[in-house]
Amino acid sequence: MPAYHSVFLDRPNPQVIGAITLPHSRTTSNALAASCPRTRGPAPTLPPLPPDVAELTIDDSHESYDPLDEILALFRANTFFRNFEIKGPADRVLIYGILFVSEALGKIKPGMGRRDAEKAVMNTALDTNFAIPGDASFPLNQAFEPPRDRNEAEVLRQYIQQMRQELAMRLLNRVYADGNTPSKWWLSFTKRKFMGKTL
């Protein structure tokens, strides 16, 4: 049983650029989200979670389960694997997301309060200076494809930007689920590298 693939592989793809799907996702609405200027992006938004479903424990069969839920659900298991056979564009979303979660998690130090962690993580998430497929500094160019033109590149960049912000917020919710100290269980994954790569 090798590393886990995306359940979104066999769903109709909304749009593919750079060989990744541009996923539909929910947006977390909380005080932190309101303070982020660019949480809105081109990704079609799914309706918010119904009151009886919790973000931290949503099941993959639920209709509101989105690719970002999946990234956080598979992160801990998949970081143990070095090999991953990409089966389609949805798997590339998964890869990028897991590598980003690793990077964001690395900003949280043991004992750091939530406020400081938010600052550190959102700093990374909101930084517009990140590489997209096709850029020379993008670490996974063999597995991805460059966008076909400037327009595609712009859309892709906005998608990834949106994904980084949304993932960062959901990650913080998990790491700080129990209060103002970060979960040592999550922090223990900072050194693991899915596919041996970092963003």
In the complex, the residues that contact another protein under the rule CB under 8 A are 1-4, 56-57, 73-74, 76-77, 80-83, 110, 184-185, 187-189, 191
Q: How far is the CB of 4 from another protein (least distance, A)?
A: 6
Q: In the complex with another protein, which residue's Cβ is closer, 73 or 99?
A: 73
- Compute the C-alpha angle 147/148/154, nearest 5°: 55
Q: How far is the CB of 74 from another protein (least distance, A)?
A: 6
Q: How far is the CB of 18 from another protein (least distance, A)?
A: 27
The C-alpha atoms of residue 22 and residue 151 are separated, in whole angstroms, by 14
Q: How far is the CB of 69 from another protein (least distance, A)?
A: 11
Q: How far is the CB of 44 from another protein (least distance, A)?
A: 26
The C-alpha atoms of residue 15 and residue 119 are separated, in whole angstroms, by 32
Q: In the complex with another protein, which residue's Cβ is closer, 56 or 151?
A: 56
Task: Print burial letters for 139-148: b (CB count within 10 Å at least 16), e (below 16).
Answer: ebeebbebbe
Q: In the complex with another protein, which residue's Cβ is closer, 22 or 69?
A: 69
Q: In the complex with another protein, which residue's Cβ is closer, 20 or 74?
A: 74
Q: What is the number of other CB atoms lying within 10 angstroms of the CB of residue 13?
A: 15
Q: Locate 7 and state its tokens.
A: 């359940």
Q: In the complex with another protein, which residue's Cβ is closer, 131 or 197?
A: 197
Q: What is the 3-state secondary structure (H, E, C) of 74-124?
A: HHHHHCCCCCCCCCCHHHHHHHHHHHHHHHHHHCCCCCCCHHHHHHHHHHH
The C-alpha atoms of residue 198 and residue 29 are separated, in whole angstroms, by 29
Q: In the complex with another protein, which residue's Cβ is closer, 70 or 133?
A: 70
Q: Which residues contact 16 (CB under 8 A, 6 or more apart)?
A: 22, 89
Q: How far is the CB of 85 from another protein (least distance, A)?
A: 12
Strand, helix or coil for residue 34 = helix
